[in-house]
Amino acid sequence: MRYTISVRGKTEDIPIIPFLAKNYPGISSSEIDSVFGFLEKSTLYGGRPFTEPQISDADVQALYSYGIGVRIPLTNHYATRAEYEENRRLLEKYHRQGNAVIVTNDELASWIREEFPLYKIEASVIKNIDSYRDIDNAFTRYDTVVLPMRLNQDLDFLRGIRGKNRITLFANAGCALTCPSKICYPAISKMNKYKGGEFKCSQSLKYRELHGMVDFDLEELESLGFHRFKLLRAKPATIAGFKGVTGF
């Protein structure tokens, strides 16, 4: 199995390797393909509101020393050519083999592909790709595709996917698994432009906390031919399937 791992909750002053060892104790460094989180400020971030960088320059070098890449979450719904030009320095800085960008906007994906070919480009879960036709279409533009969490529970659908080696499934799930509308994503995209906007959610905080985190059966998913997994950070008490001896 290969994992891309979230550093949600980390700040720049916390070294990356101890952070990973503490929060993902059952995952060895050899199993980690990449780490995703906020680097320098960008109006192209999505998914979560940007408040401060999570991954420092020192973190990046430490990850490289372990053969781990960085995966930049450029998942904003909205992207203009002018914004792309403004973010060219960011893209240039991390443009190397082993690094990736997660993208929602198809035009942005095309611009990055044309000018920065070393990046792997991943279709974000925010795109809600949930049919064979959509997967095949996404494969023409993206290297890999993240499927919605709920599809982990539809084994018949998963069996029928062609190109499983290019599919990323969630190893665990948070509130997005039970969310009825996911209105937070476009709201956060607007917030990250720093021109106003407000956070919106279709679920109450109490409802979100009631469900907590869910760990999927990765052995079952691997038996179906899937080997790429996205792992979210949870409170240690809720991580049921990822305890063990760290590989760092």
- Determine the pLDDT at residue 48: 80
Q: Is residue 69 assigned to a domain?
A: yes
What domain range includes position 97?
2-238
pTM > 0.75: yes or no: yes
227, pLDDT greater than 90? yes
Domain count, the chain: 1
Q: Is residue 244 assigned to a domain?
A: no
Q: Is residue 119 assigned to a domain?
A: yes
- The residue among 209 and 27 whose pLDDT is bigger is 27
Domain with residue 173: its CATH number is 3.20.20
- Determine the pLDDT at residue 41: 93
Q: What is the pLDDT of residues 85-141, one digit of tens each?
A: 999 999 999 999 999 999 999 999 999 999 999 999 999 998 999 999 999 999 999
Q: What is the pLDDT of residues 155-214, one digit of tens each?
A: 999 999 999 999 999 999 876 666 656 656 666 776 767 676 666 565 665 455 545 678
Confidence at 245, pLDDT banded by 50, 70, 90: very low
- Determine the pLDDT at residue 58: 97
Q: Is residue 160 assigned to a domain?
A: yes
Q: Find all residues with CB under 8 Å of 129, minimum gap 6, and list them.
A: 123, 135, 138, 145, 146, 147, 148
Q: Is residue 125 assigned to a domain?
A: yes
Task: Tell me the CA distances in angstroms from 160 to 80, 85, 121, 154, 217, one per residue in order.
Answer: 36, 40, 23, 10, 18
Q: What is the pLDDT of residues 37-50, one digit of tens each?
A: 999 999 999 888 77
Q: Is residue 247 assigned to a domain?
A: no
Q: Is residue 136 assigned to a domain?
A: yes
Q: How far apart are CA 157 and CA 134, in angstroms?
A: 13
- Determine the pLDDT at residue 120: 98
Task: Tell me the CA distances in angstroms from 159 to 129, 215, 222, one per residue in order.
Answer: 16, 20, 11
Q: Is residue 245 assigned to a domain?
A: no
